[in-house]
């Protein structure tokens, strides 16, 4: 199974929130837009969603150890969808990671040179369907199985991603406005050399729209350089100075937004 759909699933849950778990068709559409060539992985993830695996994960995370509910839901997908164990477990772990129920460490492969962890008989995979959910389940497990990431940062990431997208939107709209103004000036002065500035401004604005950090940085530097170049003209126009400072701030927002976006989506 390819891990790209798993990463994209995490990104769309961060961006659109857990409410996406109630919209299988929308979730499938977003996955196809982002990684459409991985048909098998998408089908497995959507199948798990329709089997309410995300809801079961969220309901079990505080009452049942990860080793238990991961195995139980893997068995559920094997029985209900006829999936191989590897595919079923991959789907369950993918949703658990996307929802922040487990961390990457919980899915890391075990070093074959080290002895396997000792799991009490009642928690082995063949017996997980018969485990009663009690408050004592957690305390009876070994520490190396119980230990996991407790804090769910999905909500914090969602807010951070929303802020980043707003900053990016502000920057590319500002760039588009600057490009339109430059185009009008170019047409009025009938100066073909100024058209290069128009093309560059629109190109960088589109790059910011596509969340390019490089384009955001270049746009900020290019705009500041152009204001310095025209300083002799600007210094006699207070309104022009104010607008220039405002636009510099908006382009700085674009730099912050693009870097924040890539940081959050790679977590």
Q: What is the pLDDT of residue 106?
A: 64
27, 46 in Cβ contact below 8 A? yes
Q: How far is CA 224 from CA 53, 128, 260, in A?
A: 51, 63, 22
34 and 9 part of one domain: yes
256 and 164 part of one domain: yes
Would residue 113 count as lying in a domain? no
15 and 134 part of one domain: yes
103 and 206 part of one domain: no
The number of beta carbons lying within 10 Å of the beta carbon of residue 229 is 10
Q: Which residues contact 112 (CB under 8 A, 6 or more apart)?
A: none
95 and 160 part of one domain: no
Torsion of CA 39, 42, 44, 50, to 10 degrees: -130
Would residue 205 count as lying in a domain? yes
Provide the number of structural domains found in the chain. 2
Q: What is the pLDDT of residue 145?
A: 38
13 and 127 part of one domain: yes
Would residue 115 count as lying in a domain? no
92 and 193 part of one domain: no
pLDDT per residue, tens digit, the chain (267 aa), is 888 988 989 898 888 888 888 888 888 899 888 888 888 899 889 899 898 888 888 887 777 787 887 888 899 888 888 888 898 899 999 988 888 888 776 664 544 444 444 444 544 444 444 444 444 444 444 443 333 343 345 556 667 778 889 999 999 999 999 999 989 988 888 877 788 889 999 999 999 999 999 999 999 999 999 888 877 666 677 887 888 899 999 999 999 999 998 887 775
197 and 235 part of one domain: yes
Would residue 249 count as lying in a domain? yes
The number of beta carbons lying within 10 Å of the beta carbon of residue 202 is 17
Would residue 79 count as lying in a domain? yes
Would residue 58 count as lying in a domain? yes
pTM exceeding 0.75: no
Would residue 114 count as lying in a domain? no
Q: What is the residue range of 25's domain? A: 4-108+120-149
176 and 89 part of one domain: no
139 and 170 part of one domain: no
188 and 165 part of one domain: yes
124 and 162 part of one domain: no
């Amino acid at each position: 199974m390819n891990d790209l759909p798993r990463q994209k699933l995490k990104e769309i849950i961060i961006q659109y929130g857990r409410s996406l778990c109630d919209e299988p068709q929308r979730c499938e559409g977003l996955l196809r837009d982002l990684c459409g060539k991985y048909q098998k992985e998408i089908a497995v993830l959507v199948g798990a969603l329709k089997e309410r695996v995300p809801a079961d994960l969220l309901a079990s995370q505080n009452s049942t150890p990860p080793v238990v509910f991961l195995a139980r839901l893997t068995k559920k997908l094997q029985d209900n969808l006829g999936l191989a164990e590897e595919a079923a477990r991959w789907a369950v772990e993918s949703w658990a990671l996307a929802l922040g129920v487990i961390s990457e460490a919980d899915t890391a492969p075990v070093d074959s040179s080290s002895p396997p962890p000792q799991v009490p008989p009642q928690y082995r995979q063949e017996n997980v369907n018969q485990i009663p959910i009690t408050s004592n389940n957690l305390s009876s497990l070994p520490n190396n199985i119980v230990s996991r990431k407790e804090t769910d940062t999905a909500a914090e990431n969602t807010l951070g991603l929303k802020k980043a997208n707003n900053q990016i939107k502000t920057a590319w709209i500002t760039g588009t406005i600057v490009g339109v103004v430059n185009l009008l000036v170019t047409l009025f002065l009938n100066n073909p050399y100024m058209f290069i500035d128009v093309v560059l401004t629109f190109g960088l604005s589109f790059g910011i729209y596509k969340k390019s950090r490089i384009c955001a940085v270049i746009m900020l530097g290019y705009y500041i350089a152009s204001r310095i170049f025209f300083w002799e003209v600007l210094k006699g126009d207070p309104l022009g100075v104010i607008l220039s400072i405002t636009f510099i701030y908006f382009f700085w927002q674009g730099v912050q937004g693009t870097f924040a976006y890539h940081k959050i989506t790679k977590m």
